[in-house]
Copies of this chain bind each other. A is one copy, B any other.
Amino acid sequence: MKAKVKRSTRRVKASVKTRAASRTKVMQAALKALRTEGFAGTSARAIGRVGGFPPGLIYYYFDSLEVLLLAAIDMTSSARLARYGEALAKANSVAEAIEVSSTLYREDVQSGHVAAVQELIAGASSSRGLRTEISRRIDPWIELAEAQISRFVDRSPSGALLPVHSIAQLVVAMYVGLETIAHLDRERLKVEDLFGAGMLLAPAIDDLLGKQDGTR
């Protein structure tokens, strides 16, 4: 009897694990479809073809295609958000923060994260509900930017006067804009060069923030 319960618990645990893995597989296929087929081409059929499973599997885990796409973006975004937060926490100056962001942005492009997000933003244009959901998902990025900017600004006594929340919104907007422009034509805008320019400007900002605290 005891052995039987143990075995059945193990079986349930294994099935939960399989279920989670299968659900993740569907979300990964959705992201890949967004990247390769674009939003307009990301049908249940296309996702199934990309992932090598019957399209019906989607509806076993998700109520609709829209719910799947949002869950998939949440999965990749929360992973990226954690990675940015961790890496940026180690930066000790604006210059270092830009350098770290440059590396992470390259990862975003290479992994296809940027392409998937851009396709979803573009596709959201045609759906009021999707637009609101995407919009809500920008907030954690603004919070992250705000926390990071605060770290540098709080060092100077006049930092309290700076509109940190607005600056964070502007930084995130710049990021979104860069991704949009780069997604239009990756040859025309070299985002890597822009991070280089940012690094040229950073010492002046660091200087300004440093000067404000009167230690120089």
Query: Which residues of chain B are within 8 angstroms of A139 by Cβ–Cβ distance?
Result: 188
Contact A189 B169, CB 8 Å, known A125-B118, A125-B119, A197-B163:
yes
Q: Which of A133-178 contact B (CB under 8 A)?
A: 134-136, 138-139, 161-163, 166-167, 169-170, 172-178
- The answer to the question of A204 belonging to the interface, with a C-beta cut-off of 8 Å to chain B, is yes
A 72-94 binary contact with B (CB < 8 Å = 1; else 0): 00000000000000000000000
CB distance from A183 to the nearest CB of B (A): 7
Contact of A126 among B38, B134, B161 (CB under 8 A): B38
Contact A125 B174, CB 8 Å, known A135-B188, A200-B162:
no
CB distance from A131 to the nearest CB of B (A): 5
Query: Which residues of chain B are within 8 angstroms of A126 by Cβ–Cβ distance?
Result: 38-41, 122
Query: A204–B205 Cα gap in the complex (Å)?
Result: 10
Oligomer copy total: 2
Contact A170 B184, CB 8 Å, known A177-B176, A177-B178, A200-B162:
no
- The answer to the question of A95 belonging to the interface, with a C-beta cut-off of 8 Å to chain B, is no
Least CB separation from A125: chain B residue: B122
Query: Which residues of chain B are within 8 angstroms of A176 by Cβ–Cβ distance?
Result: 176-177, 180-181
Contact residues of A: prevailing secondary structure: helix
A170 touches B183 (CB 8 A): no
Contact of A184 among B134, B162, B166, B198 (CB under 8 A): B134
Contact of A172 among B169, B177, B204 (CB under 8 A): B177
Query: A134–B183 Cα gap in the complex (Å)?
Result: 11
Query: A163–B136 Cα gap in the complex (Å)?
Result: 34
A194 touches B181 (CB 8 A): no
B162 touches A173 (CB 8 A): no
Given contacts A119-B125, A166-B193, A173-B177, could you give 5 more A-B pairs where the C-beta distance is less than 8 Å?
A124-B184, A132-B184, A139-B188, A170-B194, A173-B189
